[in-house]
Structures are given as C-alpha cells and as structure tokens.
Chains A and B, each alone.
Chain A
Amino acid sequence: DTGVSQNPRHKITKRGQNVTFRCDPISEHNRLYWYRQTLGQGPEFLTYFQNEAQLEKSRLLSDRFSAERPKGSFSTLEIQRTEQGDSAMYLCASSLVGHDTNTEAFFGQGTRLTVV
C-alpha cells in the first residue's frame, strides 16, 4: 500500500499515560495534516506541516499535545497525561501543494485511541 500509513491502528491506554502515534505520508507529499474524529462527527483539524515546519495549530491542540515532522517525512503526534476526553480517532492526511500543484488530501486509516 503506497498510501498514507498510520501506526498503531488501535491504542488502549490508562488515563495519565503518554501515547505517541506515527504517520507516514505519501512520499512526495510536502503537506501533512493531523485531524481528530469523534464518533458521529466530521474530522476536526489539529495541526499541519509544510515539509518539516509546523505552520498552524488549532485551539483544540492543548499543551498536552505535540506534533513533529523532523525530516519532512514521517510525523509523530504525542499526547501527554492522557484524559478520557482524548479518546477519538486520530487521522493523518497528506497532499502535494506547490505553485502549480494542489492535490487532494489523502487520508490514512487512523489510530483509534481509547483512554480508560
């Protein structure tokens, strides 16, 4: 599968623990987005990267959340001191954006986080 890949697919953690998710975008894509989706809702924007630079963070992204894309390739999303309200599907998407190019956003299959 040459699409967007996310790991793990599922994560169950105890409240207060830290978790980290990984996203591998489509290789030539320079944009990488993180979204959160709760049951019965559409995905909500969290943050995005242009290559290795994090250009925007949503107000949804509290100080317990941090995202990195150190080499402009894969990205990680870390949640510290997890709370039950963090339980959701975390989706990653990537796209190629340039002067004359603006592709659709391709989504990964997501990481489903359950905080117990």
Chain B
Amino acid sequence: GENVEQHPSTLSVQEGDSAVIKCTYSDSASNYFPWYKQELGKRPQLIIDIRSNVGEKKDQRIAVTLNKTAKHFSLHITETQPEDSAVYFCAASIKGGGNKLTFGTGTQLKVEL
C-alpha cells in the first residue's frame, strides 16, 4: 500500500520567515495530494491540495509543489504568522482506490514572535 513520509517532525520559525515541509510517497499511482492543518483539539482542515497533472499551486501565502518523478511534494508558507502555528499533515490518495487518504506523521510548526 501507499506510504507517506513527512519531514521535519517539528519546525520553529520566526514570524515573517518562510516554512517548508516536505513529503515523499511510494505509490506512483497516487494522484491527489492534500495538505491539512490541525490545531490542538480541532479537526483537520484542508488548506491546499494539488493533483498529479499540476506541478505547482499557490493560494496567497501558501504554495504546494509536486515532483512526480521523484515522488515528493512540499508545502511552502511565506510570511508566517503566529496563527500559522499548528500541526500540518500531508496526504496522498489514488482516485479509483476509494480516494482514501494516507497521511504523513505530521509537522508541528511553531511561529515565534
């Protein structure tokens, strides 16, 4: 089955700096890659996603890049703010495989003032 690895497990940045979280996946059939943000005690919420026919997608301060050849994808947050502090999960799924998500182990992002 699919295996998703995520790095780093913790990331501390100064407010205004950029943060980058990287994930790799194992199944070349995966074609959908969402990123979820989970604040303490709350539900995971989708912040951005990318499909395999696209190499990069941007939404304001958040961007995701996908390298299908290398089977890795990354989340980029620019101009970080304290409210960006949370756990971020990458995931991968296969359309036709039930769309079930295989998640990474998460990155605890802390944005310091």
B44-A107 in contact (CB<8A): yes
C-alpha spacing A108/B103, complex, angstroms: 16
Q: How many of chain B's residues touch chain A, expressed as a range?
A: 20 to 34
List the B side residues contacting A91 at CB < 8 Å: 43-44
Chain A residue nearest to B6 in the complex (CB): A42
A33-B100, A95-B99 known; A109 vs B89 contact (CB < 8 Å) = no
Q: How many residues of A contact B (CB 8 A)?
A: 24
Which A residues are in CB contact (< 8 Å) with B100? Answer: 33, 45, 48, 56
In the bound assembly, the distance between CA atoms of A108 and B46 in angstroms comes to 12
* A residues in contact with B43, CB < 8 Å: 4, 91, 107-110
**Do the beta carbons of A104 and B46 come within 8 Å of each other?**
yes
Using A45-B101, A105-B99, A105-B101 as known contacts, say yes or no to A40 and B49 having CB atoms under 8 A apart.
no
Bound: A106/B6 CA distance, A: 22
- 0/1 interface trace, chain A 77-116, chain B, CB 8 Å (1 if under): 0000000000000010001010000101111111000000
Task: Please name the residue on chain A nearest to B100 by beta carbon.
Answer: A45
* Chain B residue contacts of A104, Cβ below 8 A: 34, 46, 49
Residue B102 interfacial (CB < 8 Å): yes
CA distance in complex: A29, B85 (Å)? 30
